[in-house]
């Protein structure tokens, strides 16, 4: 898929008070170890991770998360998803937002290279909102002020693009508090290790029916 824009951003879009309210709410909830696809599936099926699996996970991702489904959070962010989808010319059909992932990155915590879309649609017959759908648009909201932490850069990998670049691109636009970045869920990205302070963010994945080219994979 040829894209003119690989991400769209809104600088300081969400008011600081709203960001602080989300952080306060996130801190009041029980944290969970952040997982990746294969490990997440095992937990959902009621199994525990072995020590080796926890060690392997820590090489890929190290952070803590809280899941949120509060409507007031979606109401703040979803208008920007629609606007980015139109402004960037993606015009992806999507109709459902997954649970919001409140993420805390402390010293030395990170999330290595990954993309948010799965290799096949969700297989959840009992969940009509997600069954048969894929992640199409990913959203990251910066909740922290950029002076409150160091490191933790959000980077994209555009080596699949046509610009000939072989270097990751730092998304500087996400640094200011309240800034939002929207991008297709198949775009590779990472969060580099935090070197001081704590970085708080909120992520939402937005689902729709598979692209025609996706079905053929």
CA–CA–CA angle 79, 75, 43 (5° rounding): 105
Options 2.40.37.10, 1.20.910.10, 3.40.50.920, 2.60.120.620; CATH for 8-215 is 2.60.120.620
Helix 37-44 to helix 51-60 angle (10° resolution) is 140
Distance CA 77, CA 85 (A): 13
Q: Compute the 3-state secondary structure of the chain and give helix, strand, coil in percent, each to the nearest 5.
A: 25, 30, 45
Greatest pairwise CA separation for the chain in angstroms: 46
Residue 3 has pLDDT above 90, yes or no: no
H helices within the chain, ranges in order?
A: 16-27, 37-44, 51-60, 71-87, 212-215
Q: What is the pLDDT of residues 110-160, one digit of tens each?
A: 999 999 998 789 999 999 999 999 999 999 999 999 999 999 999 999 865
Instruction: Strand 154-157: give its sheet, edge to edge.
Output: 61-62, 110-114, 188-191, 154-157, 169-170
Q: What is the pLDDT of residues 67-100, one digit of tens each?
A: 999 999 999 999 999 999 999 999 999 999 999 9
Q: Quick count: other Cβ atoms within 10 Å of Cβ 197?
A: 17
Please provide the size of the chain in residues. Answer: 217
3-class SS at 92?
Answer: coil
Partnered with residue 154 across adjacent β-strands are: 191
Q: What is the pLDDT of residues 158-209, one digit of tens each?
A: 865 445 456 899 999 999 999 999 999 999 999 999 999 999 999 999 999 9
Could you tell me the residue ranges of all domains in the chain? 8-215
Q: What pLDDT is stored for residue 167 in this prediction?
A: 82
């Amino acid at each position: 898929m040829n894209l003119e824009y690989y991400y769209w951003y809104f600088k300081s879009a969400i008011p600081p008070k709203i960001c602080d309210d989300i952080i306060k709410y996130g801190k009041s909830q029980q944290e969970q170890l952040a997982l990746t696809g294969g490990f997440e599936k095992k937990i959902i099926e009621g199994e525990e991770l072995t020590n080796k699996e926890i060690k392997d996970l820590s090489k890929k991702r190290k952070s803590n998360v809280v899941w949120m489904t509060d409507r007031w959070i979606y109401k703040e962010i979803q208008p920007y998803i629609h606007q980015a989808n139109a402004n960037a010319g993606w015009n992806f059909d999507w109709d459902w937002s997954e649970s919001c992932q409140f993420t805390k990155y402390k010293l030395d915590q990170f999330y290595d290279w990954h993309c948010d879309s799965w290799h096949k649609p969700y297989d959840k017959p009992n969940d009509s909102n997600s069954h048969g759908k894929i992640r199409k648009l990913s959203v990251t909201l910066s909740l922290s002020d950029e002076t409150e932490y160091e490191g933790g850069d959000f980077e994209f990998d555009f080596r699949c693009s046509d610009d000939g670049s072989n270097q990751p691109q730092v998304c500087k636009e996400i640094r200011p508090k309240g800034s939002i970045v929207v991008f297709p869920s198949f775009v590779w990205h990472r969060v580099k290790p935090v070197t001081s302070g704590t970085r708080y963010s909120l992520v939402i994945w937005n689902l729709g029916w598979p692209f025609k080219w996706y079905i053929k994979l």
